[in-house]
Each structure stands twice: as C-alpha cells, then as structure tokens.
Structure 1
C-alpha cells in the first residue's frame, strides 16, 4: 500500500559552527521540546534545555565511532600505529595472598 507522507520539517544541526552529520532536530512550536532524529531512523523527544548537551554527546560519539578524536575544531584522525601501551604489574602486599 502506497502512502504519501507529509513533508518533513527538520533541520540539520551544528555545534560551534561544525555540522553534526546524520543528526536532524527541530524544536516544538511551544519551544519546550526538541525532536532529535539520528540517521533518519532513531528518534527521541527531549526537553529543549537539554538539546545542546544531548546533541553534543551524539556529535562526539559519532566522530569517535568514525575514527576521529572528537567532534569540532580539535578533531584529528586517530593513528592506530601510535597507541602507547603500559604494563600493569602485580604489587606485593605482604598479606596472606601476596
């Protein structure tokens, strides 16, 4: 069955002037809620006052998942051949098990 859906009224968003890919959002008419859609498939309605922090968290999570250090101006791609590793050694405690 074919359905004709109404046009979507949402906006791409930016944080600090940098686009947040795959995230669209719109504020409710009364300005109290923010409707967020991730990748055109997953949505949430949150209080408008929390939109900045929630979308910021999504922006950083998407950037890190794509192999970058963060979202925004300080973003650099991560070099998997430059990861420092440290070794953890057992510490003698002098107890019955040490």
Structure 2
C-alpha cells in the first residue's frame, strides 16, 4: 500500500448537508476500494486562486489515505463524473 492525498473543490452553491454527503461518498469510494483513510481535513469555503467556470469560491477538502495503486484511478473516475466537483487532484506521497 502507498500513501496518497487528494484535494477536491466542491461547488459553492451546495449547502452544508450536500457537502458532507459528497465527502462521505468519496470516503466510501476509498474505504470500499480497500483503502485506509488517515486524515480528513475540511477547509471549508475559500476563494479560488482564479475563476473556474464563472465560479470564484468553493468548498475545499483534503483527504490523506493509504491504498493500492488501482484505487486512485477509480477515485479519479468518480471525481470526474460527479457534477459538484470543480477541481480535484490525487498525489502519491513520496515521503
């Protein structure tokens, strides 16, 4: 298992319950794929560095997890098909 971290930004128009539901959905993808979540850090609503699709703000969340190399590909697929995700990135932690 390797260490990974992902940061994703959700639409600012979502209410708090919808944000929590999305975070739980992504945590479920990680756990159901055999991954182990180490840390979930919800940063909340922040201003974006630049405008994306006429949106200036978003809900940021950071998740650190351990997983097999196949899991990040599945997580990336789920991020891409989820309409509420503005941007995401998954990085392997080389430490």
Q: Return the TM-score normalized by structure 2.
A: 0.29
Question: Computing the radius of gyration over CA atoms, which structure comes out larger, 1 or 2?
Answer: 1
Structure with the higher strand share, 1 or 2: 2
